[in-house]
């Protein structure tokens, strides 16, 4: 039997931080909620984020895959919220930063590239516009897209009204409306209808406002 020169260690010689069991417990809970496709890659991203005091790639809760998205890309509202939690504070960023976070969630790089092509993003982009296109990819129509955006950005508790500021909502609506080639006249028609609601809600808007049966359709072609 060969003799090794490597030192031998016993458990008394290996310091284990008192917080280590709790770290592993939180990691296990996060993995169960997030259900990563590539556990090794996700684990690396998780502990890297913790070491850098950044938001880790963790879903708020276990998520049932949805069937309303336009194509099965692996992206879900929960994963999109993870990305938003990690990237929203940066506002404008290199596309390589978004791509890195995208890959850490084992999402297909081909779909990332397609979203960049649709948005005409080259080199860098504003995160909110990438978020808008990704939300659109998960939704059947424009109203559902903006509803999802409200749910991702709201400070209301889950299942609540999902309010966001009207100015913020309008920026998303105009951007997506431009992508869908919605006439400015129609957008103004929608805004005229929503004016009363917004005035009575301290400048906030919620999905039930723009999804009300009496509200003009956000996209006249839907």
Rounded Cα gap, residues 29 and 26, in angstroms: 5
As a whole-number percent, the residues of the chain with pLDDT over 70 amount to: 90
- Give the predicted TM-score (pTM) of the model: 0.82
Rounded Cα gap, residues 105 and 89, in angstroms: 19
* Per-residue pLDDT at 2: 56
* Per-residue pLDDT at 208: 97
pLDDT confidence bin for 22, thresholds 50/70/90: confident
pLDDT 10s digits, 92-150: 999 999 999 999 999 999 999 999 999 999 999 999 999 999 999 999 999 999 999 99
As a whole-number percent, the residues of the chain with pLDDT over 90 amount to: 74
Residue 62 has pLDDT above 90, yes or no: no
pLDDT 10s digits, 40-51: 999 999 999 999
Q: Please give the backbone phi and psi of residue 200, each rounded to the nearest 5 degrees, phi first.
A: -95, 5
Residue 31 has pLDDT above 80, yes or no: yes
Whether 63 and 131 have beta carbons less than 8 Å apart is answered as no
Read off the pLDDT of each residue in 189-206 and give the average, rounded to a whole number. Answer: 96
**Number of C-beta neighbours around residue 78 at 10 A:** 20
């Amino acid at each position: 039997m060969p003799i090794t020169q490597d030192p031998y260690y016993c458990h008394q010689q290996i310091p284990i931080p008192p917080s280590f069991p709790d770290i592993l417990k939180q990691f296990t809970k996060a993995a169960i909620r997030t259900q990563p496709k590539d556990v090794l890659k996700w684990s690396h991203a998780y502990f890297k984020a913790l070491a850098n005091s950044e938001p880790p790639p963790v879903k708020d809760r276990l998520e049932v895959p949805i069937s309303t998205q336009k194509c099965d890309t692996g992206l879900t509202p929960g994963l999109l919220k993870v990305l938003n939690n990690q990237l929203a504070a940066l506002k404008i960023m290199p596309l390589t930063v978004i791509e890195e976070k995208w890959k850490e969630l084992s999402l297909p790089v081909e779909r990332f590239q397609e979203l960049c092509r649709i948005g005409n993003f080259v080199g860098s982009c504003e995160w909110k516009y990438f978020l808008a296109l990704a939300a659109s990819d998960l939704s059947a129509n424009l109203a559902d897209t903006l509803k999802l955006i409200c749910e991702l950005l709201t400070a209301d508790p889950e299942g609540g009204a999902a309010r966001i500021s009207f100015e913020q909502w309008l920026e998303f609506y105009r951007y997506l409306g431009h992508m869908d080639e919605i006439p400015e006249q129609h957008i103004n028609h929608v805004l005229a209808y929503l004016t009363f609601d917004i005035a009575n809600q301290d400048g906030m808007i919620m999905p039930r406002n723009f999804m009300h049966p009496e509200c003009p359709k956000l996209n006249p072609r839907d």
